[in-house]
C-alpha cells in the first residue's frame, strides 16, 4: 500500500478507525500509524480523541484501543 491509497480512502470515507484501515489494506496498525503521522504533519488528517469516534457512548470498546482518523483537507485528495 502506498500513501496515495490511504489518502484516497480517507478522503472518500471521511473518517475511519485504525482497525478498519488495517483490515482494508491488510497492513499492520503500526505501519499505518507511520503513514497517518505523515498525513497529520501535512494537515490532511487528524486523530480523533478516544471516545469521540462514534459518539454512541455505549462503552463497549476498549478506549485504549480505539484510534480513529478523520480527513480534514479542504483541497483535492492527494498524497503530495
Residues sharing a CB contact under 8 Å with residue 55, sequence separation 6 or more, in sequence order: none
Residue 78, domain member (yes or no): no
Q: 46 - beta bridge partners?
A: 70
Taking only the tens place, the pLDDT of each residue in 16-70 is: 999 999 999 999 999 999 999 999 999 999 998 765 545 566 666 665 567 899 9
Structural domain boundaries enclosing 21 = 3-71
Distance from the Cα of residue 71 to its chain's centroid: 8
CA distance 49 to 76: 25
Residue 46, domain member (yes or no): yes
Q: Find the CATH number of the domain harbouring 10.
A: 1.10.10.10
Tally the domains of the chain.
1
Residue 79, domain member (yes or no): no
- The candidate with the shortest Cα–Cα distance to 77, out of 40, 47, 46, 44, is 44
The answer, as to whether pTM is greater than 0.85, is no
Residue 10, domain member (yes or no): yes
Amino acid at each position: 500500500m502506498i500513501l496515495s491509497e490511504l489518502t484516497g480512502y480517507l478522503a472518500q470515507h471521511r473518517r475511519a478507525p485504525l482497525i478498519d484501515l488495517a483490515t482494508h489494506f491488510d497492513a499492520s496498525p503500526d505501519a499505518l500509524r507511520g503513514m497517518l503521522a505523515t498525513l497529520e504533519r501535512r494537515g490532511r488528517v487528524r486523530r480523533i480523541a478516544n471516545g469521540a469516534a462514534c459518539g454512541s457512548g455505549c462503552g463497549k470498546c476498549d478506549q485504549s484501543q480505539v484510534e480513529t482518523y478523520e480527513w480534514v483537507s479542504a483541497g483535492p485528495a492527494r498524497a503530495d
